Amino acid sequence: MRWRFRQISDLAVLWAGHRAVPATLIILAVLWAVVGLHFSFPRQWFLLTNMVGTLIVFFILLLVQHAQNRDMMALQTKLDELIRSSKAGNHWIAAEKNEAEAIEEMRRQHHDQIRETMN
């Protein structure tokens, strides 16, 4: 089940991120408005359209967030392995799990060390 969800998620993210999608959606929205005005669709029809559009956008947002979270976890794992296999200090491994203040302090210490070695 997870594999299928990931496959669907990847496909939806790929589709939603294609450069032709915004232009297609704008054309569809203009056509929908023109047809609606021409045939005098009732207000409920436009409310239904608004609700469906909102749900689709929300669904795609969740899929994109899922893909971004997975990509970020993979990137962090790769960085941790690079740190582990290099001469860098192991205190940098999993730094993203620290609080923002602790990360900022680590960054300051790192910059101070760089300045000391340059002088």
Range of the domain at 34: 2-88
Domains held by the chain: number: 1
pLDDT in tens, 17-68: 778 888 888 898 888 878 877 878 777 777 878 888 899 888 888 878 888 8
- Looking at the domain assignment, is residue 119 inside a domain? no
Q: Is the pLDDT of residue 2 over 80?
A: no
- Looking at the domain assignment, is residue 97 inside a domain? no
- Looking at the domain assignment, is residue 33 inside a domain? yes
Q: What pLDDT was estimated at residue 27?
A: 92
Q: Round to whole Å and give the CA distance between 83 and 107.
A: 15
- Give residue 6's pLDDT band: very low, low, confident or very high (50, 70, 90): confident
- Looking at the domain assignment, is residue 113 inside a domain? no
- Looking at the domain assignment, is residue 102 inside a domain? no
Write out the DSSP string of the chain. -HHHHHHHHHHHHHHHTSTHHHHHHHHHHHHHHHHHHHHT--HHHHHHHHHHHHHHHHHHHHHHHHHHHHHHHHHHHHHHHHHHHSSS-GGGTTGGGS-HHHHHHHHHHHHHHHHHHH-
pLDDT in tens, 57-105: 888 888 788 888 888 888 888 888 888 888 777 777 777 788 888 888 8
pTM of the model: 0.55
